[in-house]
């Protein structure tokens, strides 16, 4: 990959996505579930660029969406309605209404209160809404607390007893059709045991529902498979699938898997240019043109991203903080990173930036968001142009007096 050429053509800061890598990851995961009915539903929140979603649609993927905006993106990118799932803790009435009207596969319900709203809106529309219920199995996912979702301390899902009440209510309603069950205990999962334990608990609940004549069709295992950012030991897709299979003996269910980070994280690179080096006493800073508004993960989670210098420098390595122009002390990509002496216009490549990078970006400090480029078959293609100042003020300018 010629980062210098890409920087010259598309300028920096810049996101670059390797679509061929995404294809390989998708096919490996799909192959792991071979032998059972399954749907891969790409988690759009990990990277919501329309060209990326379309790429997965062409591979046969469905879509896991957490806003009506993501549902609309899925339709625009060519994903059929019967492969689209709408999840999320706080769906508005308008979002629920549109999802029912679009006749998607199902709405994933996260509380008793939400079930009531879905039923009421379906009744207003004189429709039957397919639903799944997100069960919180209260299993520690052994991941970062900000991306843990399967404990009672987390805002997601409902506990087993509440879920059973909800299924009975839905089954007795003429406006609700309970077709699935869902769990997702967290993101960046690197231990198999919590996934197995959660699947076993939820599979037992399916059997319990069968005993009272509530027959489900879909067993949604969520996503969360971890990837290598540094030296993590990750779960092999085959082992992941086999662990889930082992909990489903005697059950004829279509497995739905919602991969996001697994498909996109290591397919992405964030390219940024060195502006200056700065020394404050014994502290060395490398100031770059990218910032926390472009890539928030290091500031938000203290997340590690490998940083590779593209430079002619042959100097010895020394510790440096890689920081951006945003007026916040939290604006950094790395602390105490070992780097050679860098010159103005040298490039730094931030690896593993394909998931939760651009999508979590903002216009803080009135900074335009980066351009995005896709690589496929060795060819580069612009898939989102760089934001200009006029884009940033477009929704405000008309109101100036």
Return the DSSP state at 200: H
Specify whether the CB–CB gap between 85 and 39 falls below 8 A. Answer: no
- Rounded Cα distance, 356 and 115, in Å: 29
Angle at CA of residue 345, ends 303 and 3, nearest 5°: 65
pLDDT on residue 140: 64
Where residue 154 falls among pLDDT bands split at 50, 70, 90? low
391 pLDDT higher than 80: yes
Known binding-site residue numbers: 224, 258-261, 297, 301, 328, 356
- Rounded Cα distance, 292 and 388, in Å: 18
pTM across the whole model: 0.94
pLDDT on residue 269: 98
Which of 65, 129, 257, 327 is the catalytic position?
A: 327
Alpha carbon 97 to its chain centroid, in Å, reads 24
CATH code for residues 3-14+266-385: 2.40.37.10
pLDDT on residue 309: 97
- Rounded Cα distance, 74 and 65, in Å: 8
What pLDDT, in 10s, does the model give residues 155-188?
Answer: 567 999 999 999 999 999 999 999 999 999 888 8
From the CA atom positions of the chain, what is the Rg in Å? 23
Beta strands in 191-346 (DSSP E): 218-220, 254-257, 268-280, 283-288, 307-310, 318-323, 332-339
pLDDT on residue 148: 43
Q: Is 216 exposed, middle or buried (0-12, 13-18, 19+ CB in 10 A)?
A: buried
Return the DSSP state at 230: S
Domain ranges of the chain: 3-14+266-385, 87-259
What pLDDT, in 10s, does the model give residues 92-123?
Answer: 999 999 999 999 999 999 999 999 999 999 99
- Rounded Cα distance, 308 and 190, in Å: 25
List Cβ neighbours of 193 (8 Å cut-off, separation of 6 or more).
none
More reliable by pLDDT, 349 or 190: 349
List Cβ neighbours of 113 (8 Å cut-off, separation of 6 or more).
none
Indicate the SS3 state at residue 82.
helix
Known binding-site residue numbers for pyridoxal 5'-phosphate: 224, 258-261, 356
Instruction: Give the right CATH number for 87-259 from 3.20.20.10, 3.30.559.10, 3.30.1540.20, 3.30.1360.70.
Output: 3.20.20.10
Helix (H) or strand (E) holding 290: none
Is the peptide bond between 338 and the residue preceding it cis, with omega within 30 degrees of 0? no
Q: Determine what percent of the chain falls in helix, strand and coil, rounding each to the nearest 5.
A: 35, 25, 40
Taking each helix axis from N to C end, the angle separating 19-32 and 237-246, rounded to the nearest 10 degrees, works out to 30
Q: What is the mean pLDDT of residues 225-232?
A: 92
Q: Determine phi and psi for 311, rounding to 5 degrees.
A: -155, 160
- Rounded Cα distance, 262 and 43, in Å: 10
What pLDDT, in 10s, does the model give residues 194-216?
Answer: 899 999 999 999 999 999 999 99
Catalytic residue flag (residue 327): yes
Q: Is 331 exposed, middle or buried (0-12, 13-18, 19+ CB in 10 A)?
A: buried
Q: Is the dihedral of CA 143, 298, 234, 66 positive or negative?
A: positive
Q: Are strands 106-109 and 176-182 parallel, antiparallel or unpaired?
A: unpaired
What pLDDT, in 10s, does the model give residues 14-62?
Answer: 999 999 999 999 999 999 999 899 999 999 999 999 999 999 999 999 9
pLDDT on residue 157: 78
142 pLDDT higher than 70: no
Q: How many helices (H) and strands (E) does the chain have?
A: 12, 17
- Rounded Cα distance, 121 and 162, in Å: 21
């Amino acid at each position: 990959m010629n980062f210098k050429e890409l920087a010259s053509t598309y300028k920096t800061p810049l996101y670059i996505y390797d679509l061929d890598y995404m294809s390989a990851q998708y096919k490996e995961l799909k192959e792991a579930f071979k032998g059972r009915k399954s749907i891969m539903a790409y988690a759009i929140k990990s990277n919501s660029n329309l060209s990326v979603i379309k790429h997965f649609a062409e591979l046969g993927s469905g879509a896991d969406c957490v806003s009506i905006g993501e549902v609309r993106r899925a339709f625009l990118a060519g994903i059929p309605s019967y492969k689209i799932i709408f999840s999320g803790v706080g769906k508005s009435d308008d979002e629920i209404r549109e999802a029912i009207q679009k006749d998607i596969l199902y709405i994933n319900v996260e509380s008793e209160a939400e079930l009531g709203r879905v039923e009421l809106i379906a009744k207003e529309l004189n429709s039957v809404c397919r639903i799944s219920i997100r069960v919180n199995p209260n299993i520690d996912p052994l991941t970062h607390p900000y991306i843990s979702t399967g404990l009672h301390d987390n805002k997601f899902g409902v506990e087993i007893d509440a879920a059973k009440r909800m299924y009975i209510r839905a089954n007795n309603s003429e406006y609700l059709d309970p077709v699935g069950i869902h769990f997702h205990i967290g993101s960046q999962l690197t231990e198999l045991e919590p996934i197995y334990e959660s699947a076993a608990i939820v599979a037992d609940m399916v059997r319990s529902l069968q005993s009272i004549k509530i027959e489900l069709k879909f067993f949604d295992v969520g996503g969360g498979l971890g990837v290598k950012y540094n030296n993590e030991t990750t779960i092999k897709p085959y082992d992941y699938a086999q662990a889930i299979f082992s909990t489903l003996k005697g059950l004829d269910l279509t497995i739905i898997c919602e991969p996001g980070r697994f498909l996109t994280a290591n397919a992405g690179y964030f390219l940024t240019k060195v502006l200056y080096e700065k020394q404050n006493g014994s502290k060395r800073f490398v100031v770059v043109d990218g910032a926390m508004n472009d890539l928030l993960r290091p500031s938000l989670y203290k997340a590690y991203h490998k940083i590779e210098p593209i430079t002619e420098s042959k100097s010895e390595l020394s510790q440096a903080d890689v920081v951006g122009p945003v007026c916040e002390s939290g604006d950094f990509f790395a602390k105490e990173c070992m780097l050679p002496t860098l010159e103005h216009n040298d490039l730094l490549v931030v690896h593993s930036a394909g998931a939760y990078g651009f999508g979590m970006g903002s216009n803080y400090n009135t900074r335009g968001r980066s351009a995005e480029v896709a690589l496929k078959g060795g060819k580069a293609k612009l898939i989102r142009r760089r934001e200009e100042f006029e884009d940033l003020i477009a929704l405000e300018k008309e109101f100036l007096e």
